[in-house]
Structure 1
């Protein structure tokens, strides 16, 4: 049994001080005042044995909060293909990734695997072949002990018509935990500003201006999944209990269409009006933490700080930069003056609720898995000093004192 004492516990409802948190058999047993003696028959989780010896961890006045649930992160792409022409073994990539992710407080990761190999922004990790390899690798990797919880978020670019049979088979095998539809056609969605798209491609050194203009002319003639096909695919996912997300919603009509498909998450709504409409329709709005740190979107779209201060953020994800997630919570808490326990839900309880994990994960409550992090607020931002997954102490870190 583990007792965590002398910390500020962030629960669903409030911040608790002067309380101790007990972990038993991987789960949170109870949270009781520090001056009370632990009595298993009174306080304990049902599986907690009678014992008087505890491993005590002194939180030293730091925050004790739920482990972060990151539902959209393509960080694994960097681990798989760190530079052009280099592909690391997928199983090694997962091991390297989780060693990094746990240090940033991420205890559940939805690896965002994008089938998106067409266009000038294509990446080696996003080829159809490599995406299927990575899904199989995650399935294999999670059959053995891991540091954190691994899930698959498959992102389907709608011009990949030929992958549907394999996608249906993969869903049948239970290897997909979240599905999203994407349309990165320049001129709408994330790239609705064509000049911004051209500058982005040029900044990567991918093509000349002439090649980009030729690409733009050919994009609108490509075959895409029809609305009927998307609807049927969405319905099949729902039958398999796979949650659905939309992506880069830029109009009220598009968010309404996503709602009609049964989407539960609106990823990266482009405007306040669209975010508000998503909320009205019952979708969770999801935004990227790097946007919150920088103070703006790299594509000139909606600022997360603006959305947060309008109380239109439901879920925060790391997107492409895992270190940003925890820090962004504290940045938005300070910038908008919102209660910390409410902001923390954006990366814990809200994603758990959206993806039906909330009965066992997402908050500090008796009976839930003890996925916890202890966080020190330093002068340069929050630092994860301890991380637990399923009650096991996975990560400990402290800075050298000069």
Structure 2
């Protein structure tokens, strides 16, 4: 755990506040942003030449999977992986993150057994975490037989975000048209192709139970207070159906029509930052920048690559699509609001001191503070912090 810093005044920087970048100072104490700090124990850190931005709130990222299993047949201990993920998040300015874990008929690292193991490991690791890591469940729709088990896991581990997705059509198409790709999918989840096809068929056979299953889950989530949505909606009709059961978040709509229907309802639309950075979807779906330019996207998330989040915001600003203030809101203010985290997402007094220190010229993140603690520090920013935070002073704190 990073030792709590003394009260700080971050001076000379450009601060993102009230939807605009303005020259000014930022004060923090006891893990919170404050209107000002007084007294001899306050420390000034000169951050001229830097931008101070709210910590990034990442609603959906599965990049953690590569820390757990960098190769399909080479898994590592979960606690070791979480330690590494925590540090990667901080290095890219992410102070709150949902690890998007599968609850799927696929089994292996995306099955219910592993989901429960990850949730337990995350619960044990959290007291020592630098960032606020949470777990999102990606619930495959065709698993009604696991409903009670899922609800119990959500309650036990305090899981606060679930999205519904259905990969059966994709899997059936792959069986018919590209079985060689299915073999890779099966290997990734640790099984044979024959066993994998059997799982697909069994899940498909449960289609008649899916509507009742989803309604029952939605009712349970409403009672518990879980945010829930859908993932990869292919069209407006699908979004209609998920909206009807109360799923108010539309993750990764694959076509403009699904995003348009979501916005008509006032539902939040979430897209991947890698889609912005790479200039489009890797599988040919709608481009995130298309939805952003049409005001059909509220939030960007890391998806499969954590570094993409701050880079995407900078690219949107540099390309003139949005101001940096509006682009950064898509990765901080908006997701915090959607997930009902009133204590973060802006740099207003009283909020958590989740702060990104970005070099104004290079747009490289050189420091991240999470709850007022230094979670990551590098470059010239490190020199400036360390020049005033002497070891003796930190020891006294």
Same fold (TM over 0.5): yes
The question of 1:23 aligning with 2:28 is answered yes
Q: CA deviation at 1:128?
A: 2.1
2:353 counterpart SS class: coil
Aligned counterparts of 1:267 and 1:29: Cα–Cα separation in 2 = 34
Aligned counterparts of 1:6 and 1:135: Cα–Cα separation in 2 = 42
Q: Are the aligned partners of 1:308 and 1:336 in contact in 2 as well (CA < 8 Å)?
A: no
Distance 1:391 1:200, change over 3 A: farther
Aligned counterparts of 1:376 and 1:200: Cα–Cα separation in 2 = 46
More helix by share: 2
1:239-254 to 2 correspondence within 5 Å?
239-254=223-238
Aligned counterparts of 1:240 and 1:286: Cα–Cα separation in 2 = 23
Aligned counterparts of 2:360 and 2:308: Cα–Cα separation in 1 = 15
Aligned to 1:318: 302
Q: Are the aligned partners of 1:305 and 1:335 in contact in 2 as well (CA < 8 Å)?
A: no
Q: Are the aligned partners of 2:274 and 2:305 in contact in 1 as well (CA < 8 Å)?
A: yes
Aligned to 2:244: 260
Aligned to 1:37: none
Aligned counterparts of 2:184 and 2:317: Cα–Cα separation in 1 = 33
The question of 1:148 aligning with 2:154 is answered no
Q: Which has the higher contact order (CA 8 A, sep 6+)?
A: 2
1:320 counterpart SS class: coil
Aligned to 2:384: none
Aligned to 2:386: none
Q: Are the aligned partners of 1:185 and 1:219 in contact in 2 as well (CA < 8 Å)?
A: no
1:186 counterpart SS class: helix
Distance 1:164 1:363, change over 3 A: same
Aligned counterparts of 1:192 and 1:248: Cα–Cα separation in 2 = 16
Q: CA deviation at 1:248?
A: 0.8
1:340-351 to 2 correspondence within 5 Å?
340-351=324-335
Aligned to 1:100: 88
Aligned to 2:340: 356
2:266 counterpart SS class: coil
Q: Are the aligned partners of 2:60 and 2:136 in contact in 1 as well (CA < 8 Å)?
A: yes
Aligned counterparts of 1:201 and 1:27: Cα–Cα separation in 2 = 49
Aligned to 2:375: 394
Q: CA deviation at 1:205?
A: 8.2
Structure 1 residue runs without a partner (length 5+):
31-43
Q: Are the aligned partners of 2:142 and 2:203 in contact in 1 as well (CA < 8 Å)?
A: no
Aligned counterparts of 2:175 and 2:315: Cα–Cα separation in 1 = 31
Q: 106-115 or 51-60: which moved more?
A: 51-60
Aligned counterparts of 2:180 and 2:82: Cα–Cα separation in 1 = 29
Q: Are the aligned partners of 1:196 and 1:299 in contact in 2 as well (CA < 8 Å)?
A: no
Aligned to 1:175: 158
Distance 1:334 1:202, change over 3 A: farther
1:347 counterpart SS class: coil
Q: Please, what TM-score do these two structures have when normalized by structure 2?
A: 0.85
Aligned counterparts of 1:61 and 1:197: Cα–Cα separation in 2 = 55
Q: Please, what TM-score do these two structures have when normalized by structure 1?
A: 0.84
2:257 counterpart SS class: helix
Equivalent pairs counted in the alignment come to 369
2:169 counterpart SS class: coil
Aligned counterparts of 1:217 and 1:171: Cα–Cα separation in 2 = 25
The question of 1:85 aligning with 2:66 is answered no
Aligned counterparts of 1:273 and 1:68: Cα–Cα separation in 2 = 28
Aligned to 1:201: 181
CA RMSD of aligned residues (A): 2.8
